[in-house]
Amino acid sequence: MTTFDDAPRLAPRSGHARQLVVFLHGLGADGRDLIDIGREWQSWLPDAAFVAPHAPDPYEDAPVGRQWFPLTFRDPGETWRGVNQAAPALDVFLDHELARHGLPASKLALVGFSQGTMMALHVGLRRETAPSAIVGYSGLVVLEAGKGPESLAAAIRSKPPVLLVHGDRDDVVPTEMLFFSKEVLAAAGIPCQWHLSRGLAHGIDEEGLRQGGLFLAQAFGLPSPA
């Protein structure tokens, strides 16, 4: 079982963790790719501990890159198999990280990018206790090949609020996946907000960061930042 012991972490600015934010990186990156977002959000989330685990599998096309699961883009079923294979280890990590800080499962937020968004949505919606929030950048909800939105409604165990953020020039995960995902979530009764960043390709811009930070602050019941 992967332990993710070397995951980059940021301690809460206040010195006492009352929330946990877990970043899940994209294909070919590692946890260092997203952990600095925590520094951007610390003024809004002073009691949040941040952690960004490295995905368990090496990515052969990048020297230090990692992947949650392999993608060849040739098999329509590989993404569904991938999220299911990677989910148990990530779920265990989330429980261990919450226990590390003495936090209940309800004080968790998941923030993913691309493949990490696939993992955040897949795992977060199936946890027994709903996370406070899920923020997904440039990703999508993964459904079993050949099945429709009703399959998600039958599989989920919780309905946390979700924010989806996508660039309108994304050439890796097409923008249409934002609209597909929000419709799938809505059909399952999951509250979903979304933001489309104009002129943005496959990445995260300043407005997307702002939207994500504000969404988490609201989800954790914190005062709206000035």
- Position 52 in a domain: yes
Q: Indicate the helix (H) or strand (E) that contains 33.
A: none
Given this model, what pLDDT does residue 63 score? Answer: 77
* Interval 147-172 mean pLDDT: 95
Q: pLDDT tens digits for 6-31?
A: 899 999 999 999 999 999 999 999 99
Tokens 């950048």 label which residue? Answer: 137
Task: For residue 197, list its beta bridge partners.
Answer: 167
pLDDT surpasses 70 at 226: no
In this prediction, residue 53 carries a pLDDT of: 97
Asked if residue 225 is part of any domain, the answer here is no
Residue 2 lies in a domain: no
pLDDT of residue 24: 98
The 10s digit of each residue's pLDDT in 203-215 is 999 999 999 999 9
For a pLDDT cut of 90, what percent of the chain falls above it? 88
Percent of the residues in the chain that have a pLDDT greater than 70, as a whole number: 97
Reported as a single tens digit per residue, the pLDDT across 129-146 is 999 999 999 999 999 988
Residue 1 lies in a domain: no
pLDDT for 150 beyond 60: yes
Sign of CA dihedral 56, 97, 160, 225: negative
Biggest CA pair distance of the chain: 48
In a domain, 75, yes or no: yes
The answer to whether residue 206 is domain-embedded is yes
Q: Range with the lowest mean pLDDT among 126-135, 148-157, 192-201?
A: 148-157
**In this structure, is residue 4 part of a structural domain?**
no
Q: Say which residues have a Cβ less than 8 Å from residue 225's Cβ, sequence separation at least 6.
A: 43, 44, 213, 214, 217
**Residue 215 forms part of a structural domain:** yes
Structure confidence at residue 1 (pLDDT): 38
Q: Are 10 and 19 in contact (CB under 8 A)?
A: no
pLDDT over threshold 70, residue 64: yes
CATH number of the domain where residue 110 is located: 3.40.50.1820
Q: How many CB atoms lie within 10 A of CB 30?
A: 23
pLDDT (tens digit per residue) in 85-97: 999 999 999 999 9
Q: Provide the domain limits for residue 76.
A: 9-219
- What's the total number of domains in the chain? 1
Contact 31, 52 (CB under 8 A): yes
Mean pLDDT of 57-84: 89
Structure tokens at 97: 């990280």
